[in-house]
Amino acid sequence: MTPKLELVREWLVKADADLRSAKVLAKLAEPIRETACFHCQQTVEKALKALLTLHEVSCDPVHSIDYLMDLCGPLEAGLERYRLKGRDLTAYAVKYRYPGSPGEPSLEDLAEGIECAGWIYSRIVDCVPQECRP
């Protein structure tokens, strides 16, 4: 495997681990919502960066899903379906991670975050070469 494809695979392996972590935290008797939502945001961020790496598109080191979607849109038009929910996930990268945050995400927010992250992750996995897939 080329170094580029290996890096794509590494991004996707890490995205997969974040998605699995979000699902585990959501299934606890008392779900850890803010951390699970953070992992949803990380899933999407890393999956989008895998797609950018595959197409050799550089990006600023940011956590903004909207910014990454702008870059990925021309590469995979189907991603637009989840742009708005992806944009909502950006807040979980920082907003809920520190003391003084505006409260916890709701269970509905968490369910939507997992759905969004899973869909975007799967869509990107489907469009990368087989050897890059986790």
Q: What is the pLDDT of residues 18-72, one digit of tens each?
A: 999 999 999 999 999 999 999 999 999 999 999 999 999 998 888 899 999 999 9
- Determine the pLDDT at residue 82: 83
pLDDT at 96 over 80: no
CA distances from 66 to 10, 88, 100, 116 (A): 22, 9, 25, 14
Of residues 29, 10, 25, the one with CA closest to residue 113: 25
pLDDT number for residue 60: 84
The sign of the torsion formed by the CA atoms of 14, 48, 121, 129 equals negative
3-state helix, strand, coil in the chain (%, to 5): 70, 0, 30
Region 96-101: mean pLDDT is 75
pLDDT of residue 20: 98
Res. 131: pLDDT tops 90: yes
Q: Domains in the chain, ordered, with CATH?
A: 3-132 (1.20.120.330)
Longest dimension (CA), the chain: 46
DSSP type of residue 40: H
- What span, in angstroms and rounded, lies between the C-alpha atoms of 31 and 115? 16
Task: Return the percentage of the chain with pLDDT > 90, whole number.
Answer: 71
Interatomic CA distance for residues 82 and 102, integer angstroms: 24
